[in-house]
Structure 1
Amino acid sequence: MSPGPDAAADPTLLRLSRVVPRKMASHPFIPASLDLPHYVPNTHADMVILGGFAAACGAFTLLAFASGHGLPMFRRAIYTWCWLSGIIHMALEGYFVVNVRDLAAHNTVLGQVWKEYAKCDSRYMWGDRAVWIIEAITSFVWGPLLWLMAIRMRANHTKTNRYLPWLLLISTGQLYGTIVYFYTSLRLEPLAADAVAPASLVDQAKSFIGRMTYDDGIKTPFYFWVYFFFMNFIWVVVPSIVITWALRVLTTDPPKANAQGKKLKTH
């Protein structure tokens, strides 16, 4: 179709009339219209990537737990969490922060992990600024501090004043970052005025989940519940436990704590 008569007088309209839409690259992310011309498909199946990531985390957890021998069980669990959470922050999330511009083209081990995860949140493929800032703080601040706290805890776990205030700060930051991440994934626009409300509670729940996630929603329940919800909700549960424990220990009356002695050390 040729440009209208006004196009000859308006160079801007003339240029726009000649724009040829670029062909969208084929990818598994939502929305399908997302333009990722540099996207390269993963070379491994999704279950291989997920299983490999789970196995790596499991092996690292066992090594960290074994290195915490001699610590009371609860503190040993927190010690293990510091090592595991720290390596995930620094290695995996740090990889995203550094390679955000062309992550969709990476077929390294971590690159394929991110492309698999992005099936539930495509913001990691096009580099959403809010997500990048959250991940940058997490990887370059909380990650190293978690390892430092693990080292301090292993050196002398009874001197809680050396690591608990820092763990309280780190866990609060982790919890806040996760809440912000979930919040920024919400679809904030209201439903259309002529939209039909779901009839049953099940339909209402499905509608909520469909509207909750970024862009057009996550089409597959597995990606929503396992990738988006479970893998992030861990950083709501564990930091909340650490915050509760740290506040309880740090606010214990010192004379009373000394009188309790061994009882306090078992926490």
Structure 2
Amino acid sequence: MDEQTKQSLLANGFVALLVTGGFLSSQLLLPKRASRKTRFIFTWLAFDALCHSIIEGSFLYYSTFGRSINTSQGFLAYLWKDYARADKRWGWSDPTVVSLEILTVLGAGPLAAYCCYLLLNDVAAYHYWAVVLSTAELYGGFMTFCPEWLTQNKNLDASDWMLFYVYLCFMNLAWVFIPFYLLLDSYGSITAGLRTVAGATAAVTKTQKSK
């Protein structure tokens, strides 16, 4: 097995480990009556919190105060070097990427964990914070790749199927489709709640007028 294959297997295996952690947390923490949809959302949010905190948190550490992934040592730096083959900006601490990661690590990570807490305790405010989190992640994804689209993808390497389909497509599109799904789900819950309130208010008003 060559070094690049080993590096890719370790990187993807570590991500799979975090997904497993999110899934196990949904099985252990949610009540047995929880729906499949709730378990899926909780699994995603738990994984999201772990990913932002551990994987992206390590990137932020290795990419500030004069450091960079390309010049750093350590297990997580080693894994990041594999992703940097697909997008070179992550290797040399691109200022735009690092700026977005500051918001992601310090904001989105804790917020994803907070959404898990709200979902676990069936707090209605979950839907508001899910909208905030999902909107932020969609915006972050756009701002990560839009500069590349405008400069002919000069830092992206799609020459290898692993780099293109797994790293550039799958791992990034997950943060497009799932946040968009969460937006739609919360939109449905919020509008249903507002319709219920509006209906109840109308009924009370009608009753008062009839007296």
TM range, smaller chain: 0.7 to 0.9
- Give the counterpart of 1:56 among 17, 21, 31: 17
- Give the counterpart of 2:87 among 121, 126, 147: 121
Q: How many residues align?
A: 191
1:77 & 1:97 partners in 2: Cα distance? 28
1:118 & 1:216 partners in 2: Cα distance? 9
2:184 & 2:16 partners in 1: Cα distance? 30
Residue 133 (structure 1) aligned with residue 133 (structure 2)? no
User: 1:95 maps to what in 2?
Assistant: 58
Q: Work out whether residues 49 and 112 of structure 1, in 8 Å CA contact, stay in contact via their aligned partners in 2.
A: no
TM-score by length of 2: 0.81
When residues 128 and 163 of structure 1 are mapped into structure 2, their CA distance, relative to the original with a 3 A threshold, is same
2:46 & 2:155 partners in 1: Cα distance? 34
Structure 1: 4+ residue segments shifted above 4 A: 255-258
Deviations 1:51-88 (A, max 9, x none): 42244124213312212233222122111111100110
User: 1:145 maps to what in 2?
Assistant: 111
Q: Work out whether residues 174 and 235 of structure 1, in 8 Å CA contact, stay in contact via their aligned partners in 2.
A: yes
Which of the two has higher C-alpha Rg? Answer: 1
Kindly, what percent of the aligned residue pairs are identical? 24
AA matched with 1:107: Q
When residues 118 and 168 of structure 1 are mapped into structure 2, their CA distance, relative to the original with a 3 A threshold, is same
User: 1:246 maps to what in 2?
Assistant: 186
User: 2:175 maps to what in 1?
Assistant: 235
Which residues of structure 1 form unaligned runs of 5+?
Answer: 1-41, 189-210, 259-267
AA matched with 1:114: W
User: 1:111 maps to what in 2?
Assistant: 77
1:103 & 1:114 partners in 2: Cα distance? 7
TM-score by length of 1: 0.65
Task: Please state which structure has a larger fraction of its residues in helix.
Answer: 2
